[in-house]
Structure 1
Amino acid sequence: MALWRSTFIVSAMTMLSRILGLVRDMVLLNVFGAGKDFDTFVVAFRIPNFFRRLFAEGAFSQAFIPVLTEYKTTRLHAEVQILISRVFGCLLMVMSLLTLFAMIAAPVILYIYAPGFHHDPAKFALAADMFRLTIPYLLFMSLTAFASSILNSYGSFSTPAFAPVLLNITMIAAAWWLAPHMAQPIMALGWAVVAAGILQLAIQIPELWQKKLLIPPKIDFKHEGVDRILKLMLPALFGVSVTQINLLLNTIWASFMQDGSVSWLYSAERMTELPLGLIGVAIGTVILPSLSVRQAEQDQAKFRAMLDWAARVIVLVGVPASIALFMLSTPIIQALFQHGAFDLNDTRMTALALQCMSAGVLAFMLIKVFAPGFYAIQDTRTPVRVGLMAVAANAILNVVIIGFFKLIDWHAEHMALAIASSGSALVNAGMLYYYLHKRNIFRFGAHWKKLFMQFAVANTVMIAALYYGLSWYDGSASQWIRVAEVGALCIAGVIAYVAGLLLIGFRPHQLRH
């Protein structure tokens, strides 16, 4: 029950964040549209976001949590405090230097990240200014990830899970109230990002203080725990950030495509993050500390059982989420975003990208479960090997599919990037499972045959319900009517899916861990 309770807390906070995220994107796209200005913001914001996930939430958390959990389980509290102090000092120094370097080298970094912008000097200059403004977010969010990792290791998930809500609130406020008063309205979003980074760190400080874990930083790279974290972190830098690296490659490609391509991909990606955040990230966040405890206790049976439970929940939610996103792609984008500066063509292009990305939703979610299976046993090398395969698959698919689209004169080239992302995710998840199975860490046992059959029947019932329901959808209605109709379609799909599960004999006890 503890895992379910923790997962529910994270999922509920993530649900709040994702709902506000949808409102945020509706506001931003309505105010700014899917054109040059919003393209520059997406690129400028993705760069600190990329490094944040690469260094902080990604590799750092995956290396830090298992070591911290081991210290907490096997050593005195005073030793844990020393570890936290030394890690805090080293992280603060490294990320401060990286942030300073990024601000100085902004044009060079931007040229590497979005070389296509260089052909439009005004667009490139705006993106560089936006990047310099948003890069401090990297420092604040690195410290936020550090604080969140500590609290998660001590079984506290609500405050870290709530923190992203603040980003959405500040960006909505900036678009509505700050942007109209600025010479370049889009720059208001840059100020909102920096403010959100500070707020997300600040709200975690009281709980750290209460748990006597708010320890002054001290730089000591020779500390045993710091040394172990660094050795785990270096290969993990790549392994946990394959998705971000693929996004980087896709952004480079998209910068050469027609105006709006970056925004269309961003909007589609945001929709796929809804199920990923609600379940995939929630379970991935909760399961790593728990798996690390089982590893420290050398309880392999419970370790495997925990992975099996997580995979069951992911497949239960991930398959219908993928199908629903594909079937409802146009109504969803039209209902949420088609208003103001976001027109019918933007809806069509974004829906095409979402259909292509929906194929990878289940794989993205499974990665959040399979990868912690390796990090909990402090094996960061296997995910790196798998990550290399996934990045190679993404690069090859991009070249092949974009070449094919040019050959047939298809003017929605951004679809190729979405297809490549899904293909890369499938390679990543598939190879992670292969190595988990090969090393007898986790495998789909005999009980999965019955589960797969039950899930297949339930999804078939849901598909029939959505197909029938789509005939009632009115794309010409007002925005709020469209939102209500899409909401009704989603509710009908959930009811049909649950009814299908119950009719075929699925019961809640099959999700016990």
Structure 2
Amino acid sequence: MNGGLYRSTHAAPDGRPPAQEGVTVVSVEDQAPEQPGHDEVGSTAGQSAIMAIGSLVSRVIGFVRNALIGMVLGEAVGDAYTGAQFLPGQIYELLLGGILSSVLIPLLVRRRKADPDGGQEFTQRLLSFAVVTLGVATVLVVLAAPLITAIQTSGDDTSADFRELVTNFSYLILPIIFFTGLSALIGAVLNVRGHFAAPMWAPILNNIVVIAVCGVFLLVFGTDKDLTPENISAGELILIGAGTLVGMVVQAIGLLPALRKVGFRWAWRWAPRELGLREIGHLAGWTLCYVGVNQLSVFALVRALNSAGSTDNPGALAFNNIFLLTMMAHGIIGVSVITALLPKMSAAAAEGRLAEVSDDLNRGIKLVSAALAPVVVAYAVLGGPIAVILFAGGRITNADALAMGTVLTVAAFAILPLSISILCTNVFYALQGNKEAALINVPVVVVRIAGYFVLAEFLDQSLTAAGMTAANGVSYLLAAVISLAVLRRRIGRLNLSSVASSLVRVAIAAGVAGVLAFLVTRLLPGAGAPDGRVEAIVQLAVGGTVILIAYLVMALLLRVAEVSQVVGMVRRKIGR
């Protein structure tokens, strides 16, 4: 869902097609062969930096939205709201999410190049079919809301009032499925026609609407009442639930003018037999398997979090807020690197130049690791201050925020495995290896679900959200290891010794930065557990500065090529 909630992590990480980060996508047919080398590293780094800046605005505003939701609703009601938001995300992923990025976008690209009308009629047929399919599916899911929420919220520790509240939120929020799918399809059409601004900025409209709804909620209802599943009024529930739905409606409508701008006219053409659904179904089968397996883990996750979150412990709301921070780091850096490399890898794979695919994979791992390392250190060492600054306020107490900080510290160690595993998955897509990606995902999700159940059973409820985050991290690491092993057999030598050497140097630089920041922040007021935003801001400012300077100095001394490249690029920009 745009605006942010936990999603299956190997499709488009934020729910958008992978090429909507503000840079022109080059199709396989249009991409000229390039020789790998030092200039390509700079080119990839430069493109990634540009995309990172573009996606930062959207992601930050989306994060503000979710932080406000927590402040307005508090932990218990916020958990119910978040649990209800999981549902449309899961259904959307099953219906369209992974299939859109791995099947429909490449198909639209091919038809645009091959058809005399530039794929106009085919796209109209596809949109007409999708609107009907999404509409029917949305109605059925809304009718089944009580059954779905009963499965997700069943458990001895979950109260009847909590289950009823999740169901009531679901009735209002589930129609988002239709508008999410519509928005994603329109974005794909714009992508294929070389327009990227509208899909990148449209989610901001959604987030602004929900932020405004939170403001109205505070003005009308205030924060004096201790909001619980038992005492939330119908007006409070409808305002937040319906406001969330309106946000997605506005996002979808906001994309329509861009369709006219690129010369596309949306005419109704009902001709499903002309779409080649058998071909689409064959291509989508393994992707659907991949996504479906992921959704099983989401169901298991929500059940565990709802059991913990029905008390005063961090639950679905806390987990989701921290997951958003994890995905923000991956989205700004990891997605940008992947999007810059994917066209080149696709072109090389299509022409059998597998050595270049291997080089690009190595380049991507090194870039992602070097760029994300200081973020990992900041989350690990400064989790408490970051959580207090972002989440404390309204119905979220300082203690609640510090508990979220503990989850963030654990999440820090999942960021790199997440980005590397998603990079590997995109290499499989470039190689048209959807089957391999789906099969690898099966044992990964089995381990993830097992981790959920084992940790939920043995950990104290106050640590459930942190335990679920740790289980995710282990599964991401397993996915990366298995994917690299399979890719080595598929494309040959990966030169992993070079990658390992780079990772070791990055780890040393990050470790030194982390130790220095930890020691310095322990000398400041609050000593890592700030009491209020003032102490948290001081700790974050001082600790963040220490991390950044120490990491850059150590990385340059250790000759981490990717950091040196980015620093050199910045110097040249300043010089101009």
TM-score of the superposed pair, with normalisation by structure 1: 0.88
* 1:338-361 Cα distance to aligned partner (Å, 9 max, x none): 223212442343223223322221
Match of 1:82 in 2: 121
Match of 1:31 in 2: 72
SS at match of 1:231: helix
Does the 8 Å contact 1:393/1:424 carry over to 2? yes
2:558 and 2:144 mapped to 1: Cα distance?
59
Please point out which of 86, 92, 105 is paired with 1:52: 92
* 1:106-150 Cα distance to aligned partner (Å, 9 max, x none): 101111222249953332222222111111211111111112223
* 1:257-302 Cα distance to aligned partner (Å, 9 max, x none): 2424222222222221220221223344555455445545555455
Does the 8 Å contact 2:452/2:471 carry over to 1? yes
1:445 to 1:41, Cα distance in 2 relative to 1, 3 A: same
Aligned length: 507
SS at match of 1:413: helix
State yes or no: 1:282 paired with 2:336.
yes
Please give the residue correspondences for 1:113-262 in structure 2 after superposition, counting only pairs within 5 Å: 113-116=152-155, 120-178=159-217, 180-181=219-220, 183=233, 184-223=235-274, 226-240=277-291, 245-257=296-308, 258-259=310-311, 260-262=314-316
1:72 to 1:373, Cα distance in 2 relative to 1, 3 A: farther
2:189 and 2:48 mapped to 1: Cα distance?
17
Q: Report the more deviating stretch, 300-309 or 243-252.
A: 300-309
* 1:47-102 Cα distance to aligned partner (Å, 9 max, x none): 112222343333322211222333445x2452522332232122212111110101
Does the 8 Å contact 1:367/1:432 carry over to 2? yes
Does the 8 Å contact 1:272/1:357 carry over to 2? yes
Match of 1:398 in 2: 452
Q: Report the more deviating stretch, 157-166 or 179-188.
A: 179-188
* 1:395-442 Cα distance to aligned partner (Å, 9 max, x none): 22223333333xxx6753333322212112222222222221220178
Does the 8 Å contact 1:141/1:201 carry over to 2? yes
Match of 1:376 in 2: 430
Please point out which of 363, 369, 388 is paired with 1:334: 388
Q: Report the more deviating stretch, 468-477 or 38-47.
A: 468-477
Structure 1 residue 167, shift from structure 2 partner:
2.9
The residue type equivalent to 1:235 in the other structure is: W
Q: Report the more deviating stretch, 304-313 or 383-392.
A: 304-313
Does the 8 Å contact 2:125/2:271 carry over to 1? yes
Structure 1 residue 236, shift from structure 2 partner:
0.8
Could you list the runs of 5+ residues in structure 2 that have no partner in the other structure?
1-41, 222-232, 569-576
1:30 and 1:473 mapped to 2: Cα distance?
27
Does the 8 Å contact 2:520/2:543 carry over to 1? yes
SS at match of 1:439: helix
1:24 to 1:468, Cα distance in 2 relative to 1, 3 A: same
Does the 8 Å contact 2:172/2:241 carry over to 1? yes
SS at match of 1:222: helix
Please give the residue correspondences for 1:427-446 in structure 2 after superposition, counting only pairs within 5 Å: 427-440=478-491, 443-446=494-497
1:420 and 1:430 mapped to 2: Cα distance?
16
Match of 2:150 in 1: 111
Task: Give the percent of matched residue pairs that are identical in Structure 1 and Structure 2.
Answer: 20
Structure 1 residue 233, shift from structure 2 partner:
1.9
Q: Report the more deviating stretch, 274-283 or 303-312.
A: 303-312
The residue type equivalent to 1:316 in the other structure is: A
* 1:466-489 Cα distance to aligned partner (Å, 9 max, x none): 223322443455425523541443
Please point out which of 388, 392, 395 is paired with 2:442: 388
Does the 8 Å contact 1:41/1:186 carry over to 2? no
2:521 and 2:317 mapped to 1: Cα distance?
26
2:293 and 2:418 mapped to 1: Cα distance?
11
* 1:23-46 Cα distance to aligned partner (Å, 9 max, x none): 2233222222212x1111101111
Match of 1:325 in 2: 379
2:322 and 2:525 mapped to 1: Cα distance?
21
Does the 8 Å contact 1:458/1:496 carry over to 2? yes
SS at match of 1:138: helix
Structure 1 residue 251, shift from structure 2 partner:
0.7
The residue type equivalent to 1:497 in the other structure is: Y
1:146 and 1:9 mapped to 2: Cα distance?
25
1:205 to 1:444, Cα distance in 2 relative to 1, 3 A: farther
1:72 and 1:125 mapped to 2: Cα distance?
48
1:428 to 1:203, Cα distance in 2 relative to 1, 3 A: same
Does the 8 Å contact 1:10/1:161 carry over to 2? no
State yes or no: 1:63 paired with 2:114.
no
State yes or no: 1:22 paired with 2:60.
no
Could you list the runs of 5+ residues in structure 1 that have no partner in the other structure?
none
Does the 8 Å contact 2:392/2:401 carry over to 1? yes
Does the 8 Å contact 1:27/1:175 carry over to 2? yes
SS at match of 1:213: coil
Match of 1:361 in 2: 415
1:31 and 1:53 mapped to 2: Cα distance?
28
